[in-house]
């Protein structure tokens, strides 16, 4: 049998590389149209770009950094800032932001406010429960006596450390990596400041979220001449603070003393929000910060023409 001769493959059937196809299509477009498109693209990217950068994206980024710090620290003193967002909504400039990014921004600021409100609710539970438990094991008179005794001891210790030269003990601060109240300093003699009262760490909401592991951090910071505070807003009130002598008197540890309050918090929906939603919120804030950084660098991007 004779073999059939195969016909050579037609040149027209050989696939062209992508760049050849693109070039072939491009050659069909008039040069004037190409120049026009390029001009329109350039005008779009440069028109009002600086205004968009300085009046929209940079203020939003600055506020978002503050929001991130507030949520990270669980700051209950003030609401997470949203001044820039409110101003953009008021003026209508919010519509200049691509719709997807705008939606994410609005949502993250709303969730930050919700997280702050959850923290306030948790704080209210903490101060009520802790003040109740503290009043069961100590009285105001006992607190006053401990404060007087400890203040005298701190004064004597401070004086003995500053017999020569000028002391810089005022520059020392314990617990600098944690929320703490500094010791009281008597500055009547500026050249010889004297410690005149105790300070100590605060047991903050972050510590409740990290219980019982957070106890180790507190134990390292809480000295025998310190208070442990449970309400930063009213740290002078005797029923919001605890001493090591208090726990020794009832033969308890800090972990055991706090456990009943932690068990109450575990069942609270606001506490659960801080345990779970807060972490995902911080992740989203970080991602949006990256998106805003990109926008500060390049405020108007060509893809925006197709995303509205």
pLDDT tens for 60-71 read: 999 999 999 999
Q: What is the pLDDT of residue 8?
A: 52
Q: Give, as one character, the DSSP assignment of residue 139.
A: -
Q: Is the pLDDT score of 205 beyond 60?
A: yes
Q: Rounded to 5 degrees, what are φ and ψ at 129?
A: -65, -45
Q: Is the pLDDT score of 5 beyond 70?
A: no
Check whether the bond before 185 is cis (ω within 30° of 0).
Answer: no
Q: What is the pLDDT of residue 188?
A: 84
Instruction: Note the pLDDT tens digit of each residue in 95-133.
Output: 999 999 999 999 999 999 999 999 999 999 999 999 999
Q: What is the pLDDT of residue 157?
A: 84
Instruction: Note the pLDDT tens digit of each residue in 246-275.
Output: 999 999 999 999 999 999 999 999 999 999
The answer to whether the beta carbons of residues 285 and 72 sit under 8 Å apart is no
Of 46 and 174, the one with more pLDDT: 46
Exposure string of 250-259, with b = 16+ CB inside 10 Å and e = fewer, is eeeebeebbe
Of 25 and 158, the one with more pLDDT: 158
Percentage helix, strand, coil for the chain under 3-state DSSP, each rounded to 5: 65, 5, 30
DSSP E strands in 37-131: the ranges are none
Q: What is the mean pLDDT of the chain?
A: 84
Of 191 and 277, the one with more pLDDT: 277
Q: Is the pLDDT score of 13 beyond 90?
A: no
C-alpha dist (Å) from residue 15 to 10, 18, 21, 189: 11, 9, 10, 91
Q: What is the pLDDT of residue 187?
A: 85
Q: What is the pLDDT of residue 246?
A: 97
Q: How far is it, in rounded angstroms, from Cα 183 to Cα 178?
A: 15
Of 35 and 98, the one with more pLDDT: 98
Please report which confidence band the pLDDT of residue 164 belongs to, taking 50, 70 and 90 as the band edges.
Answer: very low
Q: Is the pLDDT score of 169 beyond 60?
A: no
Q: How far is it, in rounded angstroms, from Cα 249 to Cα 246?
A: 5
C-alpha dist (Å) from residue 221 to 36, 229, 236, 294: 68, 12, 19, 41
Q: Is the pLDDT score of 292 beyond 80?
A: yes
Q: What is the pLDDT of residue 193?
A: 85
Q: How far is it, in rounded angstroms, from Cα 218 to Cα 228?
A: 9
Mean pLDDT is highest, among 45-49, 161-165, 287-291, for: 287-291
Q: Is the pLDDT score of 45 beyond 60?
A: no
User: Of 276, 258, 243, nearest to 212 (Cα)?
Assistant: 258
Rounded mean pLDDT, 278-303: 88
**Percentage of the chain surpassing pLDDT 90?**
66
Q: What is the pLDDT of residue 171?
A: 34
Q: What is the pLDDT of residue 93?
A: 92
């Amino acid at each position: 049998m004779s073999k059939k001769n195969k016909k050579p493959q037609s040149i027209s059937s050989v696939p062209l590389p992508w760049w050849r196809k693109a070039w072939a299509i491009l050659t069909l477009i008039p040069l004037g149209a190409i120049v026009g498109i390029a001009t329109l693209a350039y005008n779009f990217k440069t028109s009002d770009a600086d205004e968009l950068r300085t009046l929209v994206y940079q203020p939003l980024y600055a506020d978002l950094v503050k929001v991130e710090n507030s949520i990270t620290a669980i700051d209950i003193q003030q609401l997470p800032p949203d001044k820039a967002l409110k101003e953009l909504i008021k003026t209508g400039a919010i519509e200049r932001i691509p719709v997807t990014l705008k939606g994410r921004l609005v949502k993250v600021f709303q969730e930050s406010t919700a997280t702050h409100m959850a923290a306030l609710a948790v704080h209210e539970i903490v101060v009520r429960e802790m003040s109740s438990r503290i009043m069961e094991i100590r009285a105001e008179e006992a607190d006053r006596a401990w404060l007087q005794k400890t203040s005298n001891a701190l004064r004597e210790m401070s004086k003995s450390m500053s017999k020569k030269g000028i002391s810089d003990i005022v520059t020392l601060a314990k617990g600098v990596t944690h929320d703490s109240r500094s010791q009281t300093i008597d500055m009547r003699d500026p050249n010889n400041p004297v410690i005149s009262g105790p300070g100590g760490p605060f047991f903050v909401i972050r510590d409740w979220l990290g219980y019982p592991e957070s106890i180790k951090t507190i134990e390292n910071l809480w000295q025998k001449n310190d208070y442990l505070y449970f309400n930063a807003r009213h740290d002078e009130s005797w029923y919001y603070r605890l001493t090591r002598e208090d726990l020794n008197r009832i033969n308890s540890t800090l972990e055991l003393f706090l456990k009943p309050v932690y068990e109450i918090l575990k069942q609270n929906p606001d506490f659960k929000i801080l345990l779970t939603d807060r972490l995902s919120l911080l992740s989203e804030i970080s991602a949006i910060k990256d998106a805003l950084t990109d926008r500060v660098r390049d405020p108007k991007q060509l893809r925006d023409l197709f995303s509205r």
